Amino acid sequence: MNELFGTLSDGTPVHRWTLERAGVRVRILSYGGIVQDVEVPDRDGRTGNVVLGFTGLDGYVAHPEPFLGALIGRYANRIAGARFTLDGVERTLTPNDGPNSLHGGERGFDKRVWDVTGVEHGLRLSLVSEDGEEGFPGRLEVTVTYTLDERGALHIAYEAVTDAPTHVNLTNHTYWNLAGSGSAAGHELRLAASRWTPSGPDLIPAGDLADVSGTRYDFREARKTGSGYDDNFVLDKGVTQAAEEVAELYDPASGRVLTLATTEPGIQVYTADHIGEPFEPGAGIALETQHFPDSPNRPEFPGTVLRPGEVFRSETVYGFSTR
């Protein structure tokens, strides 16, 4: 189902699509490719929305910083000093997080209106990022496909091609609250991650990868998330061709379970301590599957360079159940 959701100040219409299968309903906007609503049942069969979002377009335009439910690019997370050197050429990006580049710059993919077409059990979103946008080289053609499978799991598949060498790191920035309201701090999280990337106050990786053993970053056995996290975890599986399960989020009150599988090597866990109005701190948890922050300046990290003739591919799958 496709309906008009609102109109931007320049007159551009924004539409909302609804996908429904196996008891799961998902609503997606053409603005930012935003996942506005995900409705799933609790252990008693009562259906509720489990993601943070606004009921109208004005909310997303007025409060862009949380990146609620949006597609993020060209580069998810931070690039130190808003610059990198690629093939011997230094590139200067748009700084929008102090001196650093965050989530693609001032006008990343979260603020673009995507072209949307229907596919079987889903939607295909596409856009073109022209050479030089936010300082990134190369004309980048991006396609993101949202589908619901026969079990009601939400698949997000990313593809991109370029006409010049560039860096690409794409993700979705949905905040999950499996209780449907209140704080998500009591959710229990399990991560297949034995290491993480310590960072400084600017959230740029500050040194080598660190072992989570004996630290507050050890989620290898499920425990409550609490608060105070905006960190990249290094998934034990690394980069994979097919999505592998790496995380589980559980709300003991509702019984809802979110499982997460991905091809990506990392996951940024953000407990929304600084999410801003109108939401309370800790209202949701973002689980952003991606490559590591500042990878363009850290050759020891898994690479994010995309070259002409190559195809960037990535997939993340969100499964829903109860116990």
Would you please indicate which residues are annotated as catalytic (active-site) residues? 173, 288
Q: Which residue has the tokens 């949307």?
A: 116
Is residue 263 within 8 A of residue 239, CB to CB? The reply is: yes
Instruction: State residue 40 phi and psi, 5-degree precision.
Output: -140, 155
- Alpha-carbon distance of 124 to 143, in angstroms, equals 7
Q: Reduced to 3 states, what is the DSSP secondary structure of residue 181?
A: coil
Q: Show Cβ contacts of residue 102 under 8 Å, excluding neighbours closer than 6 positions.
A: 77, 78, 96
Question: Which DSSP helix (H) or strand (E) runs through 58?
Answer: helix 57-62
Q: How far is CA 128 from the centre of its chain?
A: 19
Cα first-last separation, the chain:
31
Q: What is 182-212 written as a DSSP string? A: S--TT-EEEE--SEE--B-TT-SB-SS-EE-
In 3D space, the residue among 288, 277, 181, 157 whose CA is nearest the CA of residue 229 turns out to be 288
Is residue 169 within 8 A of residue 291, CB to CB? The reply is: yes
- Alpha-carbon distance of 288 to 319, in angstroms, equals 15
- Alpha-carbon distance of 162 to 308, in angstroms, equals 5
- Alpha-carbon distance of 29 to 40, in angstroms, equals 19
Q: Which residue has the tokens 């991560």?
A: 191
Which amino acid is it at 320?
F
